[in-house]
Structure 1
Amino acid sequence: MSDKYTLSARLRAALVGAALLALGAAASCTYSHGDPAPACDVPRENVTYAKVISPIFDANCRECHGSTVYPVKGGGNNFGDYQALSSYFSPSKLLGCIRHDPGFDPMPQGRQKLSDCDIQRIEAWIAAGKPNN
């Protein structure tokens, strides 16, 4: 009978060892989405409408809110050019929508939220007085 208990003790020791090895391997695993995003330095003087803001709106907003499509697709909100954008929007409404804040329609509709960096750039542009530069 001692062989039976010895085998059982050996099997138990092997199972405990395997479990500890598996636990250690699982604890050392990490999941990464690649390189971390670079820091977003947003000096207000570098946030220009033409070079920074307009390209963000081109890539994310003007498919629905452009000059020719906004009456049908954009709920009447025209972001087609500087004049239309600066004369329309309430900064708090725009920021609430692009940040996906509660109580606002998340924009761009049906797509991913703008990057934090792009949102910071828009915030910096608004804080600088929405210059047409």
Structure 2
Amino acid sequence: MLLVLNGPNLNRLGLREPGVYGSQTLEDLERQCETWGAELGQSVTCRQSNYEGQLVEWVQDAEEHGFTGIVINPGALTHYSYALRDAIAGQRVPVVEVHISNVDAREEFRHQSVTAAVCRGKISGLGFLGYRLGMEALVEG
């Protein structure tokens, strides 16, 4: 059972900077993740929050709720949330960080991830496909 978490502003997919993030919506992404999960033999639960504390709690509670892996797009929290970093580091469920855009080709402040170092891996710049690859990495382990 996989958990897909999306952070701040990802609820605005399809509206926010379509030249960077594309025209598909969060609902499109969630449906795609559920389809990919089924293809991998996994149920998928998708959640999005604009609130750091909510994401921290979902990460902390993942194992207790039966999740075996987390795909997370922390959004802007990637670059400064030590609370989210510590939540990921402080639990046993493997995590893959994903980003729709190539964060290393964007503004300088986006080049630093405080969360990636405590994740199993990081995928950036492959659009929604990055989520599938993250799920595959967790399933195939």
Question: With structure 1 as the length reference, what TM-score do the two structures score?
Answer: 0.27
Question: With structure 2 as the length reference, what TM-score do the two structures score?
Answer: 0.26
Q: Which has the higher strand share?
A: 2
Q: Which has the higher helix share?
A: 1
